[in-house]
Chain A
Amino acid sequence: MNSYVELNFGKSFTGKTARMLHELRGEDRVILADPKCAQLVDLKNWDHLWPFFDPESNDGDGAWLGKDFVDYFRKRQRCRFRAMVHFRSHFREQLNLLCRLAMGTKNLTLAIDEMGLFIPSGPINSLPPSVTASAISGRHEFIKFTGTAQLPSLVHFTVRSNAEKIRWFRLTERNALDAARDFMDESFISQVASLPNYVCIETSDSRPPFRDESLVGKIKILQKVARPDRVS
């Protein structure tokens, strides 16, 4: 990852999560937030963490019970780690805590699968404060931010508008294509609706948009998990 905020949009099973994991391979310190607790649960070479969230603690702000989860990061303030944090409920509140912890840990990449569950669209004050802080000023703490979502409209515009790089996988919904029009010209828009899996249109602040097919067949992550679905 060479941008501080990178987003991946695309329909289900188009390869956006696999691409995000592929982009994370070079990062030394990574926290990945997983709200689905499905295909990523068995991913190898990651430390899988299951924090226990209590919404009543901290005067109703919520907190993770026990010390194990925080101790994991306390012991890794100056070393490499790849932590996959699995959440089952209270996604917005738990991401807020995770961002606060990330701002304290510093120098890491925060990846979020299915951002629509964590930071759905809404008014400007609907984004939790620590998420806002890490998304808009995380680079001061050397925090990179990346995530996936099925539709651009599912993601809060503060995060979306701060993205330096966006990968557009296959999208067919009209509003999603309208959102993509702000970043690319019509020749690419016509392709977005029919992109094959693992192929994306990449738009960024630093260069013109282009169709990226370079990783077709090369991303092995999650393929083993996806195989039964293909058979069916």
Chain B
Amino acid sequence: MEQENRNGLDSGSDPFEDAAKSVSAAEKPEASSPESGEVAEKKFVIDEAWAVASVQFIFSPLAKYSHAAWEVTAEEAQLVSPKMQVFLQNLIDRYVPQLLSRFAARNKELSELAAALAMLYFIKRNQVKRVLKVEAMIEKAKKDDSPILIPRSPKDSPAPVDVSP
């Protein structure tokens, strides 16, 4: 037994890493994306176009309020965009998560309320989208003088319902 313990010590296992492993857990994937962590990381990669657009955006107030000559072309923006791309990637990877986690820890009630409101917003947005779609179909059917077919959600019967008088 003692020999086994000694072997454990000699094998190079790091007590800190053992402790760190047992006290921390990865961010829950569903918190950021319903898919795996790898996909979530890919989703937030800043590409060249974002960097160019950011550089152009910085000069846009000058172009609007001072002179149109301030407008930065894509070629000009590409002179700066590599550095902008690195900065934005760092911002997304490090500073924003740190700020959000600090804010969430300090203002637990507010962050929970914001999450709940965001959830309600997405639910309502889906409902409104569906209502608008149906209204558009009714308007179109009235114009064409054809029967009104209201689509149902996939959970219900797949057959459309005829509600025309």
Contacts and interface: CB of A to CB of B under 8 A. Distances in A.
Interface of A: 37, 50-52, 54, 57-58, 63-70, 73-74, 77, 86, 88-89, 97-98, 100-101, 103-106
B105 A64 contact: no
B16 A67 contact: no
B123 interface: no
Nearest to B104: A52
A57 B16 contact: no
A66 B101 contact: yes
Interface residues of B, number: 21
Interface of B: 15-20, 22-28, 97-98, 101-102, 104-106, 108
Nearest to B98: A68
Contact of B23 (A50, A77, A86, A101): A101
A99 to B, nearest CB: 9
B124 to A, nearest CB: 28
B13 to A, nearest CB: 11
A69 B25 CA distance: 11
17 contacts: A51-B105, A52-B101, A52-B104, A52-B105, A64-B25, A65-B25, A65-B27, A68-B101, A73-B16, A73-B20, A89-B108, A100-B19, A104-B17, A104-B18, A104-B19, A104-B20, A106-B16
Given A66-B97, A105-B16, A50 B24 contact: no
Nearest to A53: B105
Nearest to A50: B105
Given A67-B24, A104-B18, A50 B101 contact: yes
Contact of B24 (A37, A63, A105): A63
B101 A100 contact: no
Nearest to B22: A100
Nearest to A77: B16
A64 B24 contact: yes
B12 to A, nearest CB: 15
B9 to A, nearest CB: 14
Contact of B20 (A65, A74, A88): A74
